[in-house]
Amino acid sequence: MTDQEKETTDFGFRTVAKEKKTGMVAEIFHSVAAKYDLMNDLMSFGVHRLWKRFTVDSSGVRPGQKVLDLAGGTGDLTARFSRLVGIQGQVVLADINESMLRVGREKLRNKGIIANVSYVQANAETLPFPDNYFDCITLSFGLRNVTEKEKALRSMFRVLKPGGRLLILEFSKPLFEPVSKIYDAYSFHILPKIGKIVAQDAESYRYLAESIRVHPDQETLKDMISDAGFENVTYSNLTGGIVALHRGFKF
């Protein structure tokens, strides 16, 4: 790898300087935050709710535990975990984007979810939490937007307790070629049009489609999680591999 390659990263199909990606991603999510939940329902035909439910059901979270919902956005997972951990537990909704965090806080408080949830603006690469702190960490549809993915995985490993569980829910590589072709056509031709109509922002959703294509596939991400120190790393393909849930443990 050349010095230039070390200093650049993907931004969709473009190659940009690493120090610029965080700000560029921030602009995307500042733009889409207000319509994020609506767009999720439209883009996935509501299936994202089933993916997230499967993630929570796979977490093994119990009353009294501490959970980090990283890149938690508008708080779908946080709401579910809040009920699981109970009043003696704690859920931290963390997101690098202030706009997403604000929307999530408002939505959860409107639902009466207050007592056991806190909000932290944080970069996944340098998590501002003590070592061995959380019983479970989830990262839902956020890893592909991280500049230094390996660094973020090591940061998550550090703050997870021994015996704790990491769950990464992310778009992945469809298992069947016909599904992949249909998915590409939908992502690159229909999705930006929906974004333009609903969120008045076609470009952000074009980037989101591109970011899915350049994200590591299931086996590559499994190896990256293992390299960060996690053990017993496995994954489940959901909806034909359009999405995958990776699990890893810290022992």
The answer to whether the annotation marks 95 as part of a ligand binding site is yes
Mean of all residue pLDDT scores within the chain: 92
Residue ranges making up the domain that contains 85 = 3-173+216-249
pLDDT value, residue 5? 53
Write the pLDDT tens digit of every residue in 184-220. 898 898 888 888 888 888 888 888 889 998 999 999 9
- How many independent structural domains does the chain possess? 1
Beta pairing class for 160-171 and 8-11: unpaired
Range 81-87 average pLDDT: 97
Please report whether residue 208 resides in a domain.
Answer: no
Write the pLDDT tens digit of every residue in 124-134. 999 999 999 99
Please report whether residue 90 resides in a domain.
Answer: yes
The answer to whether the annotation marks 122 as part of a ligand binding site is no
Give the CATH number of the domain where residue 148 resides: 3.40.50.150
> What radius of gyration, in Å, describes the C-alpha atoms of the chain?
17
Please report whether residue 191 resides in a domain.
Answer: no
Query: For residues 135 and 113, what is the distance between their CA atoms, to the nearest angstrom?
Result: 20
Q: What pTM value is reported for the model?
A: 0.90
Query: For residues 106 and 113, what is the distance between their CA atoms, to the nearest angstrom?
Result: 10
pLDDT value, residue 26? 81
Please report whether residue 211 resides in a domain.
Answer: no
Please report whether residue 178 resides in a domain.
Answer: no
The answer to whether the annotation marks 209 as part of a ligand binding site is no
Please report whether residue 105 resides in a domain.
Answer: yes
pLDDT at 221 over 90: yes
The answer to whether the annotation marks 123 as part of a ligand binding site is yes
pLDDT at 160 over 90: yes
Please report whether residue 203 resides in a domain.
Answer: no
Q: Is residue 125 within 8 Å of residue 148, measured between CB atoms?
A: yes
Query: For residues 143 and 225, what is the distance between their CA atoms, to the nearest angstrom?
Result: 12
b/e map 45-57, b = 16+ CB within 10 Å: eeebeebbebbbe
Q: Which residues 6+ apart lie within 8 Å of 249 measured at CB?
A: 163, 164, 165, 166, 230, 231, 232
pLDDT value, residue 201? 84
Please report whether residue 8 resides in a domain.
Answer: yes
Range 44-64 average pLDDT: 96
Range 84-98 average pLDDT: 96
